[in-house]
Amino acid sequence: MSQVRVRFAPSPTGFFHIGSARTALFNWLYARHTGGKFILRIEDTDKERNSPEFLKVILDSMRWLGMDWDEGPEVGGNFGPYFQSERTELYKAKLKELADKGKAYEKDGAWWLRLEGARSVVFDEHLKKEIEKVDAAPMVLNDLVRGRVERAEDRDFVIFRSNGEPVFHFVNVVDDIEMQITHVIRGEDHLSNTSKHLELFKAFGVKPPEYAHIPLILKTDGPGKMSKRDRGALIEEYQQRHYLPAAVRNYLCLLGWTPTDGREVLPIDDIIQQFELSAVHQSNARFDERKMSHVNAQTLRTIPAAEFAAIARPILIQNKVIDEKVSDARLTEVLAIVQEKVISVEHLPEFMGFFFTENFKKDENAQANLTKKGGDPAARLRELLPSLEACEWTDAGIEAAFNAAATTHQRKPTDFFAPARFATSGQGGGPHLLGILRVLGRDITLRRIKAFLN
RNA sequence: GCCCCCUUCGUCUAGCCCGGUCAGGACACCUCGUUUUCACUGAGGUAACUGGGGUUCGAAUCCCCAAGGGGGCGCCA
């Protein structure tokens, strides 16, 4: 059996859309699952709307999401060039091939593909003008996701513009032929176009590849598919917000496909192993940022401490939470109690800033709620202070100090928690309290409590 | 207007191919818990087979129709 060759063919005319990313991802997964090749091909035939910056956005995002390509820009390959703008001569030769066969003809300066069938002129309600319709035989597609789909193309269509540039449908098919693509995995918005592509394959006398049309990603609410302007639609947004790329990728897999082993958050190697085109869903899915956020938080718990520190350090430095002098050991110590609680790297600076400055923010809500449990916070802290001054400075020792204070003053240990938390961190929530105190150290803990009392 | 695709909790979905489980899980939401706070974690809860016909002893599962949703119909990709 011949090797699987799939391609992702973005047009660098905008930002990297989440739907495009998911299409790229499914192609990449299929290539990795089958041990085939994943090809990146840049469809830049529309000169008006292309730019090098847009290309960089796509390549950077692809790399960020961990989708490496076997052939394409920057890596080369035996089927190049991989920019359609550099394949003009090929397209012209292929056009001539169709023209010579009588399958294409020139009209109004453009070249059209000639369909086979009886012709008639009718008024088209959509185009609001008279057009020539062709009673062509339906093209039959056995889609790997949709099953059998039959659709007849009913008009000759332009394959080369009057300005001499080929159109999408033509280059798409020519390149798929030349690059020996075996499987075309793309969004369902192309399903209706497929009859055009099948007509082209037929005109060339080439057997078409397998097709798999995957469902679209719809807006969270409101009608229609995700558009560039929708919140959460652009991959770069997640990069900027320090989402974990593995989490974004994992969530994207969940829109249109379900892992077979019952897990939703799982390593990419396991996803690759389980991924099958036949298991891809047929219905569109609505984007849900909250679920994605959940996947992100779950993924966060699974990464090794050293890796977490490597991710966190530059972000903390950038936000002036720490400076370069803070040691890895110290950072890892703090991160160890933070990692199990924080829900996103994005929140790290505010979540753990108090470990590194005496000038930490004080949450007004938390302060207002201090008296709810345990009464007067200052009184509780005065009762607690002697125990903290005397105890062994370990989790167990600090816990014992809270218990001792509780016994002495006939209270519950929890009565001391909110005041101690607020005095040392300015927050009402956060990492485990005993961990906070232990990591802060006795000196700073006592100093902050005394500062609160004054 | 024409063509194509889709239709299970608010959302993502399992189950459907090979009819017969209180229709299962996750997010979100609500409740309660943890002799320790919390954005953690644990236990519960609310919540769905679009509608109508048909086939059948029996249909979420098979067939038909309708409705709803999505997509396409460009010298954009």
Chain A 226-285 residues in 7 Å CB range of strand B? 254-256, 258, 262, 264, 281-285
Chain A 123-152 residues in 7 Å CB range of strand B? 124-127, 146-147, 149-152
Can you give the distance from the CA of residue A142 to the C1' of nucleotide B45 in angstroms?
A: 45
Does residue A433 lie within 7 Å of nucleic acid chain B, judged by its CB? yes
Q: Which nucleotide lies closest to A187 by the C1' atom and the CA atom?
A: B71
The residue from A228, A291, A412, A450 that is catalytic is A228
- Per residue in A287-341, pLDDT (tens digit) is 999 999 999 999 999 999 889 999 999 999 998 888 888 888 889 989 988 998 8
d(CA A116, CA A124): 20
Q: Are A9 and A184 in contact (CB under 8 A)?
A: no
- CA A372 to chain CA centroid, nearest Å: 42
- Per residue in A19-50, pLDDT (tens digit) is 999 999 999 999 999 999 999 999 887 666 66
The arithmetic mean of pLDDT across residues A336-363, rounded, is 88
**Confidence (pLDDT) at A47:** 62
Q: Rounded mean pLDDT of chain A? A: 91
**Confidence (pLDDT) at A245:** 96
**Confidence (pLDDT) at A137:** 93
> Residue closest to B38, CA→C1'?
A429
Q: Is the pLDDT of residue A52 over 90?
A: no
**Confidence (pLDDT) at A340:** 86
Q: Which nucleotide lies closest to A297 by the C1' atom and the CA atom?
A: B39
pTM: 0.92
d(CA A67, CA A292): 19
d(CA A376, CA A380): 6
**Confidence (pLDDT) at A453:** 83
**Confidence (pLDDT) at A273:** 96
The letter for the amino acid at A436 is: I
Phi-psi region of A120 (alpha: psi -120 to 50; beta: other; left: phi over 0): beta
**Confidence (pLDDT) at A372:** 66
Q: What nucleotides of chain B have any atom within 7 angstroms of a protein Cβ?
A: 1-8, 10-14, 25-28, 35-41, 69-77
Q: Is the pLDDT of residue A169 over 70?
A: yes
Does residue A20 lie within 7 Å of nucleic acid chain B, judged by its CB? no
**Confidence (pLDDT) at A235:** 93
Indicate the length of chain A as a whole number: 454
Q: Which nucleotide lies closest to A344 by the C1' atom and the CA atom?
A: B39
Can you give the distance from the CA of residue A222 to the C1' of nucleotide B47 in angstroms?
A: 21
Nearest to A101 by CA among A87, A111, A89, A88: A111
Q: Which residues of A54-76 are buried (b: 16+ CB within 10 A; e: fewer)?
A: bbebbbebbebbebebbbbbeee
Q: Is the pLDDT of residue A1 over 60?
A: no
Chain A 59-98 residues in 7 Å CB range of strand B? none
d(CA A321, CA A1): 56
Q: What is the DSSP letter of A141?
A: E
β-strands A157-160, A183-187: how paired? unpaired
- A14: tokens are 């905008």
Q: Is the pLDDT of residue A442 over 80?
A: yes
The highest-confidence range among A195-199, A259-263, A406-410, by mean pLDDT, is A195-199
Give the confidence band of A284 by pLDDT, cuts at 50, 70, 90.
very high
- φ and ψ of A300, to 5 deg: -55, -35
**Confidence (pLDDT) at A362:** 82
Does residue A431 lie within 7 Å of nucleic acid chain B, judged by its CB? yes
As a dihedral over the C-alpha atoms of residue A203, residue A206, residue A211, residue A216, rounded to 10 degrees, the angle is -40
Q: Is the pLDDT of residue A369 over 80?
A: no
Nearest to A58 by CA among A87, A7, A17: A17
Does residue A429 lie within 7 Å of nucleic acid chain B, judged by its CB? yes
**Confidence (pLDDT) at A49:** 60
Q: Is the pLDDT of residue A365 over 80?
A: no
Can you give the distance from the CA of residue A259 to the C1' of nucleotide B41 in angstroms?
A: 25
The highest-confidence range among A51-60, A274-283, A365-374, by mean pLDDT, is A274-283
Does residue A341 lie within 7 Å of nucleic acid chain B, judged by its CB? yes
Can you give the distance from the CA of residue A143 to the C1' of nucleotide B58 in angstroms?
A: 34
**Confidence (pLDDT) at A390:** 84
Can you give the distance from the CA of residue A437 to the C1' of nucleotide B37 in angstroms?
A: 13
Does residue A191 lie within 7 Å of nucleic acid chain B, judged by its CB? yes
Give the confidence band of A407 by pLDDT, cuts at 50, 70, 90.
confident
The arithmetic mean of pLDDT across residues A118-130, rounded, is 87
> Residue closest to B3, CA→C1'?
A151
Nearest to A103 by CA among A114, A111, A88: A114
Report the Cα–Cα distance between both ends of chain A, in Å, rounded: 79
Does residue A401 lie within 7 Å of nucleic acid chain B, judged by its CB? no
* Residue A450 is a catalytic residue: no
Integer CA distances (angstroms), A369 to A17, A87, A394, A427, in order: 43, 68, 28, 11
Chain A 368-387 residues in 7 Å CB range of strand B? none
Q: Can you spell out the DSSP letters for A396-423?
A: HHHHHHHHHHHHHTT--GGGGHHHHHHH
